[in-house]
Structure 1
């Protein structure tokens, strides 16, 4: 459900056809199972292959390896419309390759790209990004996981935390320290999931239950030097660029989930009757719905503008940080209002808005916490 038709200045008929296909996939393949998969704490691996067959895993990746080059608006649509599956956990796990595989596509060797990207984009293999550590989250330059060169191998030791798809990933894009302290010593390595010395522990979370989240332990893992992604000591720049794409994707997803919350609250207000009339006929309820709609429209306008800037070749780092904060705040507001309007029903397990309410907070933290985003924007604007 769109509050208003998409702006034709930005979205073509092909964009809208893609939007319809993405929404159809999530409404048919995900939404009917969201409750069961959430309670189970996982979803079938077959879903990756189904998503690939529907053309959802390939956008934004090079055609030579099975991808589909596209503009920023296709990517915005993909992340926004996945909200109609009603589960951030399923979506985050299903699309973990969108944060793990771009560094491979951008900086990996030709041999690495040819070997790794096709099975990821066909849904046969799963890829995860491993950056965060117990003592280094947003401050990537301080990460401690080491990769010591030993002949034709890097010997990796350390721990990674809060890794989405960390339990089931076949490939891990891992940030490691190959050099001295600070950003200049950071590199990226592709670590195979069956590497001896790699162990994984599942983590339990407030939300995103269906997405496996892991702590990873590297104990003298020997990784071939040809698995270095890009140049040694150049990993920090690749991570920073990747963060910008991740944050915009999170912002688009948050806007999508806000729209789902608005949709469910509006549908409930139209059928629920109190004191002889529909909830929607009470002025106080109508005002709450309009407050939700206003924030969603403002967020969508900013996201459309940012996608346009990206397609024009700009790198609006500060504005992307602002957009992530605005979008996740919009999602938080709409989820809270939706639960309030649904009352007891909104508090029940199995209610879509109850699940989304639990999932809001991780989106305000993941990809860079709100406070980090404000500091980043301030530095970019030279405040």
Structure 2
């Protein structure tokens, strides 16, 4: 249908509450029926009735508001063209540094192939059109992903659950996202792409609630559970979206200090079962998990045991800084009886399982934290370019440019380090990764979250009051500032990871240098 054209004079005649039009970037909007429903009240709209409200609109609203209310657009100004770019679902941002360098058309990368680029484009379109609105809904309502079986089945259809576990045989023979990539082609760069794209939903609690517990626990089941029949059965249940798992390591007495675990497991006299007693705290997805990958103390070390939800396993919600959508739980084991073949790894050698499972978990957190930090850079660049203070744009102030330069430098350097480590993951065996990459990945994660701390501080100051408001222009900044600390603590606190990185390095220190 042809878009009707109006002169500015015609628009100016519609200047009352009963007949209210305005112009936003050469487009004409009829807001007559919206006056009483406007969240900001009718006074604001009366002030722009019949006028060009472009400056006023972008001083208060995000671009997505226009997309949401597109049906109110009745035409455009004759002979004039819009100057503001509307980014549609699936499109790359044209804001400098809003995308990693490998995605910018003017640059090249030695790491990413055409398959990776096609995967990124496909996943982004799916995230923008389907995942984002669901994420916002669950974040706001505090509801678990299990209340959206349609979303889970969408992920099953795309083989996204399997992709989130990382590369492996579980994907072989599978078609990913309708044939965009074969399961055998899914490498750690494809893993990076998938995790970074899914982190763009700006719903931190939901992001962990979106099977985050499954991602970090099913990998352990796949790699360490000796009972192959049980392993494959649980894997199939989870890959089909019918059952969910959670990783249970942290306790009130032992967070990053895994050696301080107090949950115990003892064999029954006949040697056929383990009896587990103790508690776990801050367990992601624990509220809706069907299986708990549980770290326990033995008389000679540690065990990792797959514990089905059963009598004696009780879960209680824990309130945190982000949405209850994460399903964060306090888990209690009261004389829980589990068959001996639910042991993961060797008996008394569970510490090896715990440590071996951390690399991919921390890698995934690094991917997401960098992507969320990059979103802050994009938001601040856009806001600084449009916000007028003291008679000039924010971007015209040297102190604001210095803040932006700092944020950009942190994000770009961290992305480069991440891609370098990803290349090593692609070319090292699982055993070699455990030996060589534990320290570098730990240092990368703590460096990223330290950088996120600085980015959150600078971004909030750039946005001012909007940066501490959960709606409107600064809602992404507020979310990041309130929740970035989760990445700094989950999977190992910054201080512990920094120390781990140095201690790991010292293992390779040549004695001749002493």
Q: Shorter-normalised TM-score: what interval?
A: over 0.9
Q: Which residue of 2 aligns with 1:52?
A: 156
Give the TM-score normalised by structure 2: 0.70
**Counterpart check, 1:352 vs 2:352:** no
Partners of 2:281 and 2:464 lie apart in 1 by 36
Greater Cα shift, 371-380 or 330-339:
330-339
Give the drift of 1:172. 1.1
Greater Cα shift, 14-23 or 121-130:
14-23
Partners of 2:245 and 2:394 lie apart in 1 by 46
Give the drift of 1:75. 1.8
| Secondary structure class of the residue paired with 2:306 | strand
- Aligned 8 A contact 1:76 1:252 in 2: yes
- Encode CA deviations 1:61-88: one digit per residue, 9 max, x unaligned: 4337987453221222222222210022
- Aligned 8 A contact 1:65 1:114 in 2: no
Structure 1 residues 148-187: aligned runs within 5 Å: 148-150=266-268, 151=270, 152-180=272-300, 185-187=301-303
| Secondary structure class of the residue paired with 1:133 | coil
Q: Which residue of 2 aligns with 1:331?
A: 452
Distance 1:115 1:91, change over 3 A: same
| Secondary structure class of the residue paired with 1:159 | strand
**Counterpart check, 1:304 vs 2:304:** no
**Counterpart check, 1:5 vs 2:102:** yes
Aligned pairs, how many? Answer: 378
Partners of 1:86 and 1:281 lie apart in 2 by 28
Q: Which residue of 1 aligns with 2:5?
A: none
Which blocks of at least 5 consecutive residues in structure 1 are unaligned? none
Give the TM-score normalised by structure 1: 0.92
- Encode CA deviations 1:5-64: one digit per residue, 9 max, x unaligned: 345211111112222233333323343344442232224322333223233211224337
CA RMSD of aligned residues (A): 2.0
Q: Which residue of 2 aligns with 1:261?
A: 376
Structure 1 residues 4-153: aligned runs within 5 Å: 4-6=101-103, 8-45=109-146, 46=149, 47-59=151-163, 60=166, 61-63=168-170, 68=183, 70-94=186-210, 95-108=212-225, 109-150=227-268, 151=270, 152-153=272-273
- Aligned 8 A contact 1:252 1:327 in 2: no
Partners of 2:340 and 2:115 lie apart in 1 by 43
- Encode CA deviations 1:280-308: one digit per residue, 9 max, x unaligned: 23332222222111111100110011111
- Encode CA deviations 1:135-190: one digit per residue, 9 max, x unaligned: 1122222312111112322111110011000110111111112332xxxx211111
Partners of 1:259 and 1:375 lie apart in 2 by 27
Give the greater-gyration-radius structure (CA).
2
Greater Cα shift, 49-58 or 221-230:
49-58
Partners of 2:317 and 2:173 lie apart in 1 by 31
Q: Which residue of 2 aligns with 1:190?
A: 306
Distance 1:363 1:277, change over 3 A: same
Which blocks of at least 5 consecutive residues in structure 2 are unaligned? 1-97, 175-182, 510-514
- Encode CA deviations 1:307-338: one digit per residue, 9 max, x unaligned: 11122214322211110011112222222222
Partners of 2:257 and 2:249 lie apart in 1 by 10
- Encode CA deviations 1:99-153: one digit per residue, 9 max, x unaligned: 1011111122211122101121222221110011111122222312111112322
Higher RCO, 1 or 2 (CA under 8 Å, sep at least 6)? Answer: 1
Structure 1 residues 217-236: aligned runs within 5 Å: 217-236=332-351
- Encode CA deviations 1:257-298: one digit per residue, 9 max, x unaligned: 101111111222222222333322333222222211111110
Partners of 1:271 and 1:53 lie apart in 2 by 41
Partners of 2:442 and 2:243 lie apart in 1 by 31
Partners of 2:133 and 2:392 lie apart in 1 by 31
| Secondary structure class of the residue paired with 1:210 | helix
Greater Cα shift, 160-169 or 52-61:
52-61
- Aligned 8 A contact 2:385 2:395 in 1: yes
Partners of 2:323 and 2:141 lie apart in 1 by 11
